[in-house]
Amino acid sequence: MAEKRPLTGDADGELVAIKKQLSATRHGAGLKVPLPEPSEAATLRIGIVRTCWHEELIELLVSKSINQMVSRGVKRENIVQAVVPGSYELPYITKRMLESEDVDVVICVGILLKGGTIHMEVIADAVTNQLMGLQMTHNIPVIFGVLTVMAIEQAVERAESELPHSWGDSALTMAMHKRKLRTVGDA
């Protein structure tokens, strides 16, 4: 009889490859996107819609995103923020911001934490679909900064990582594209 091998473990080639990729890719680290010149960044108007749940982590995520954009030339006075109770409310206020604040891009920031039911999955699906629809309808980019995590420790790890910086850089890139599509090879 042939010896039975476990389906997963150190001998599982796929699992080993996933672990290598995870250790090599830290949340948001190494993202290289085309960025505006500081003079162009200074003219961008950025919207941020953020939730109230897990306030200390949300504050860290938002402040790191803002600091990244400011370091690239965005003026603090050109960043407008709105606060909503939870992630389910993000699409409504994002829509209001897109329609009333003359923004070039909106970053939505929230944390959805898995509980004992499928509540997180239902909210995540609804919010994701609505935010995608808003950017397509309004022709203004929306950056998805909603963490969907199994444990609060995962949210802490992401908040302390480079991930919020990547949201800031992504917002600048997409705002630039909104104003004028940049293609590869453009000067």
| CB proximity list for 176: less than 8 A, separation 6 or greater | 34, 35, 36, 40, 44, 182
Rounded distance between C-alpha atoms, residue 88 and residue 109, angstroms? 11
Contacts of 49 (CB under 8 A, 6+ apart): 81, 82, 83, 84, 90, 93, 94, 97, 106, 107, 108, 109
Active site residues: 119
d(CA 61, CA 156): 10
Report d(CA 111, CA 165) in Å as an integer.
Answer: 17
